[in-house]
Amino acid sequence: MKRALITGITGQDGAYLAKFLLNKGYKVYGLMARRSTSTTWRLEFLGIENEVDLIEGDVTDLSSLIRALKISEANEVYNLAAQSFVGTSWDQPILTAEVTGVGVVNLLEAIRLTDPSAKFYQASTSEMFGLIQDEKQSESTPFYPRSPYGVAKLYGHWITINYRESFNIHASCGILFNHESPLRGIEFVTRKVTDAVARIKLGLQEELHLGNIDAKRDWGFAGDYVEAMWLMLQQENADDYVIATGETTTVRDMCKIAFEYVDLKYEEYVVIDPKFYRPAEVEVLLGNPAKAQEKLSWKATTSLKQLIQMMVEADLKRVKKEIATKG
């Protein structure tokens, strides 16, 4: 039986990846950071909270990573842990550097010290392209990060490549473009919108405050994207891949899709609030997933419309439940 260790298992991707690997017959371990309240709601949503083994640890604590690797004896290690919200990275740049950047070398060191034959996946990001240098970003597009998060991820990206080249570790980076789902954190724009649409439709909210709605993103479904992570670790040689849909849409048009799904007009509810502007913005992202398609036979299968509808449906269900519970 193959054994996997996922850091960030309580996050959106961690939960979907855990479910995916369980379905493939893996024994799944997850590194779980200590928090004062429970963080397992996503694992519960997918019905797998009792099927994964959670090990307490933190990517900033090398000893806990060594312990987690010894306990799990993982053949595959997926590093998804991060301070992943771009907005917060300006308020907590040092924590972001320590978790999202240095956390990666901690885990690579732990692998080097315990079992260098373990395969490693690093959650790199399209945010590294930042101020884009090519209209369609591919593996050969130069990076130009625009946030402390993007800068920290760039360190994680290059240190992963460096450990592959220095120590022959099977270490791959997935340069994933934005991917969303009903399990997306509420602070990210798609989920903020779909949650608001559900609340407005059900009479609990009147307005939706947003920042730069002219920003464009290449949005896919997280459920599709975790398969690409796994496929990278099944290749004979480690490599880096862009994972994207190849289509880009403005935040404005994404709002339109969400509001129209419940027969509302976004223009009547969206209020532009400079509070949500960023000190430096990534105006547009558009990925070229040709390499993943050719080498991994991977392709995004969920359209933005299907994705947003799935998210609105899930939020309508949640809000209705909330109303019923409150009476």
Active site residues: 125, 127, 149
H-type helices in the chain, by residue range? 12-23, 41-45, 62-72, 88-91, 93-96, 103-114, 148-167, 189-201, 222-233, 251-261, 290-291, 304-326
Contact range with ligand GDD by CB under 6 A, out of 25-33, 59-67, 123-131, 161-169: 123-131
In the complex, the smallest distance separating the C-beta of residue 327 from ligand NAP, rounded to whole angstroms, is 30
- Residue from 220, 243, 247, 230 nearest 302 by CA: 220
By CB under 6 A, is residue 45 in contact with ligand GDD? no
Alpha helices by DSSP H, listed for 84-126, are: 88-91, 93-96, 103-114
Retrieve residue 281's tokens: 């913005």
By CB under 6 A, residue 93 contacts ligand GDD: no
Q: Which is nearer to ligand GDD, 201 or 216 (CB)?
A: 216
Interface residue with ligand NAP, options 12, 160, 194, 248 (CB under 6 A): 12
The reply on whether position 145 binds ligand NAP by CB under 6 A is no
Least Å distance, CB 159 to ligand GDD, is 17
**175 belongs to the binding site for ligand GDD (CB under 6 A):** no
Q: Which of 127, 224, 240, 315 binds ligand GDD (CB under 6 A)?
A: 127
Binding mask of the shown chain, residues 187 to 206, with x at each position contacting ligand GDD by CB under 6 A: xxx--x--------------
Cα-Cα end-to-end distance for the chain: 48
Torsion sign, CA atoms 225, 309, 44, 203? positive
**Residue 285 interacting with ligand NAP (CB under 6 A):** no
Whose CA is closest to 287, among 141, 181, 157, 124? Answer: 141
Residue 59 touching ligand NAP (CB under 6 A): yes
DSSP string over 188-246: SHHHHHHHHHHHHHTTS-S-EEES-TT-EE--EEHHHHHHHHHHHHTSSS--EEEE--S
In the complex, residue closest to ligand NAP by CB: 11
Q: Residue 183 interacts with ligand GDD (CB under 6 A)?
A: no
Q: How far apart are CA 320 and CA 323, in angstroms?
A: 5
Among ligand GDD, ligand NAP, none, the one that 105 touches (CB under a kind-dependent 5 to 8 A) is none
Of 45-53, 81-89, 203-211, 244-252, which part binds ligand NAP (CB under 6 A)? 81-89
Cβ neighbours, 10 Å, residue 167: 12
Q: Residues interacting with ligand GDD, by CB under 6 A?
A: 84, 86-87, 125-127, 177-178, 187-189, 192, 210-213, 215, 217, 251, 276, 278, 281-282, 285
